[in-house]
Amino acid sequence: MGRLSVDLCGITLDNPVIPASGTFGFGYEFAELYDINVLGTFSFKGTTRDSRFGNPTPRIAECPMGMINAVGLQNPGVDKVISEELPKLKKCFHKKVMANVSGFSVEDYAYTCERLDKEEQVGWLEVNVSCPNVHGGGMSFGTDPAAAAEVTKAVRAVTTKPIIIKLSPNVTDVVSIAKACEDAGADGISLINTLLGMRIDLRTRRPVIANKMGGFSGPAIFPVAVRMVYQVANAVKIPVVGMGGVSTAEDVIEMMLAGATAVEVGAANLTDPFVCKDIINDLPRVMDKYGINDLKSIIGGVR
């Protein structure tokens, strides 16, 4: 194991850098630009039981130090992900991939996870109970400890692979929700998903996004993410995957000091498709600068 390697729920990653779901497609698109096997892994496009067209356009609004999106979980559905997307991915990515799963009912989550659990290439199931861009599902499960625990238990009952529950920052007490998921059988926690945001067009006096509100991401939310990762990592005994505004190797180190075992990079992929590769290449320099011999030694190492 090298100085960049970490262990995430029993699976070794060559490095802790993971492109976040919704910003990296199913991977093979980025494989046309560089060898994506340099990544620790990646979390593929949020997948639901049935296909989804997503929200009406416009879906994107620019903001200082970030962006708002309301894509709405557009995806071909779990059956086509298994029959079409994963075979294409297997040709260019030779590591375990993280499957991101969303749903509109507990039964949806269980069904989709059970199907993906049977796929050899899937290493982890990242169960998203925190999407702010859909109605009647997603975030509604992640804002209440009991509801998040119910989803976790249902998924745990039908899967053997590590379950990582992805939590929302749009709550007053993220720690209680994380602990409820841990008690219900989660193997890890990932956070934060996007903050709920909104922009208004001054000329039309209408919301910029057709959905009115959407998920705010980018460098502006990084301090919020670090705080929540720190709080959760100090409250649970399972690994935490940190994300939210990460765009540099220094950001990765800061997230890991706060308690993250691995770090996802989201919005930055949309402005620079090479950002994850560049972060990985830059990590040894930053580690040397701050006297870090190996990344495992700094997890939760904030004084």
Catalytic residues: 131
Alpha helices in 207-302 (DSSP H): 222-233, 249-258, 268-271, 275-289
Q: From CA 197, how far away is CA 217, in angstroms rounded? A: 9
Contact between 59 and 72 (Cβ < 8 Å): yes
Q: From CA 288, how far away is CA 91, in angstroms rounded? A: 35
Distances (CA, A) of 168 to 64, 91, 193, 299, 301: 22, 33, 5, 22, 24
Indicate the SS3 state at residue 182: helix
Name beta bridge partners: 25.
Answer: none
Contact between 220 and 63 (Cβ < 8 Å): yes
Contact between 236 and 88 (Cβ < 8 Å): no
Q: From CA 53, how far away is CA 234, in angstroms rounded? A: 39
Look up tokens 């090298």; give the residue.
2
Q: Is 50 left (phi over 0), alpha (psi -120 to 50) or beta?
A: beta
Distances (CA, A) of 130 to 134, 160, 259, 268: 10, 22, 20, 20
